[in-house]
Amino acid sequence: MINNMLHALGLAIQYFSRIPLRLTLRYEEETMKRTIFFLPFIGWLLGAILYLFYYYSHLYFPVSLFSVLLVVFLLWLTGALHADGWMDVFDGIGSSQSKEKMLNIMKDSRVGAMGVVGFVALFALKVFAMAELLPSTLVKEALIITPVLARWGVLLAVVLFPYARDKGLGKQYKEWFKWPVLLLATLWVLPAFWLSPYGLLMLIVSFIFTILSGYYFTKKLDGLTGDVYGWMIEGAEGLLWVMLVALQRLI
């Protein structure tokens, strides 16, 4: 069991990030579906790398330029995996077609006009939010905690909402990841409450965003997809950064 979970951890790092892990790991469906358990842990790794990049580099660049570099660096660290889902969802939902056609559009590897518009809007939102947060006292929350809570929201969505397709990796996640595993995986979130007095507030915002977007996509598509999971991660990160911008003006 321990070996299986360590194998799943290695696959999770290789699949959900570009963090170099020089191991040759066999792909097995039984192991791959367990990678979802480690998604918040991947958030901690990404957040730690982002913060180290910020800590050692931000003094060499103006805030406006460095905010762009940070957002681009995060895109690179994730292999733009979730951004791809964000664009696919915009293409599918933006088509205003039937459920089946929207799902087919989202599965298409080509990016349409709505996907490009959606990505530009997301990129601009993240860059300008980060430009506000870099000089503030909430940069730790933005860089370290946000990636964790955004990914925890996907775990909640996997348990709460149906899966829209008959097969795929997301379907395997749905079949394996149940309430007991979610409760165990929520332990990944606990250090956020120690790192920041705003950890609980950020968790509540992520929870509400997950519930609302989950209901929306279930109504539109009769369930969620892997692309929607990526959309949720990108959306939650953007929303949490915007929330932190508003919060830093109040404290």
- Give the pLDDT of the chain (251 residues) as one tens digit per residue: 667 888 899 999 999 999 988 777 877 888 899 999 999 999 999 999 999 999 999 999 999 999 999 999 999 999 999 999 999 999 999 998 999 999 999 998 899 999 999 999 999 999 999 999 999 999 999 999 999 999 999 999 999 999 999 888 899 999 999 999 999 999 999 999 999 999 999 999 999 999 999 999 999 999 999 999 999 999 999 999 999 999 999 98
- CB-count exposure of residue 171 (10 Å: 0-12, 13-18, 19+): middle
State the Cα–Cα distance between residues 54 and 17, nearest whole angstrom.
19
In a domain, 27, yes or no: no
Any idea which residue has 């963090």 for tokens? 19
Q: Which helix (H) or strand (E) holds 140?
A: helix 139-140
In a domain, 178, yes or no: yes
In a domain, 29, yes or no: no
The pTM (predicted TM-score) of the whole model is 0.97
Cross-strand partners of 224? 163
The count of domains in the chain is 1
State the Cα–Cα distance between residues 122 and 83, nearest whole angstrom.
9
State the Cα–Cα distance between residues 249 and 179, nearest whole angstrom.
37
In a domain, 2, yes or no: no
State the Cα–Cα distance between residues 61 and 184, nearest whole angstrom.
41
Boundaries of domain holding 53: 39-248
In a domain, 30, yes or no: no
Please give the C-alpha separations between residue 33 and each of 27, 28, 130, 158, 181, in angstroms, as whole numbers.
Answer: 10, 9, 33, 12, 12
State the Cα–Cα distance between residues 105 and 25, nearest whole angstrom.
32
In a domain, 125, yes or no: yes
In a domain, 25, yes or no: no
Which pLDDT score is estimated for 102?
A: 96
**Residue 42 · residue 17 · CB < 8 Å:** yes
In a domain, 207, yes or no: yes
The contacts of residue 180 (CB under 8 Å, 6+ apart) are: none
State the Cα–Cα distance between residues 151 and 189, nearest whole angstrom.
10
